[in-house]
Amino acid sequence: CFEPEAKGYLVEGLPFHKFYFATANSGAASGNHTTLSNETMEGPKVRKLGDTAALLTYVRLNQIVDKTGSHVTIATEESRVWQAIGENEWKLVHLHRSQVR
């Protein structure tokens, strides 16, 4: 679904939403200084670039309950270039990350 916490991105599945229910009484606001977080990969797309390379693009939604007990979502757009090394082995050769404002 689309909702403000998803920063305008379509979120599918329950883990993103479950995080809010699971952390509602986390105790962060009452002095528990443990930072809770959850990451969701949304809209992954893979494009093969010949036989030896592939491009993966997606949006990472990082949900955090900060030390004051507030829920914060940080969205980043990421791209990763993978190179085939031998048979059935891939190596990450480039990563780019841009924070969505």
How is residue 17 written in tokens?
A: 């939403």
| Residue range 1-54, pLDDT digits in tens | 777 777 878 788 777 778 877 777 655 545 555 567 889 899 999 999 999 999
What pLDDT was estimated at residue 78? 97
What pLDDT was estimated at residue 36? 79
What pLDDT was estimated at residue 69? 79
What pLDDT was estimated at residue 5? 78
Quick one: how many helices (H) and strands (E) in the chain?
1, 4
Q: CA of 101: how far to CAs of 7, 25, 26, 38, 46, in Å?
A: 9, 28, 27, 19, 24
Question: CA–CA separation, 36 vs 63, rounded Å?
Answer: 8
| Residue range 59-96, pLDDT digits in tens | 999 988 887 778 888 999 999 999 999 888 999 999 99
What pLDDT was estimated at residue 84? 96
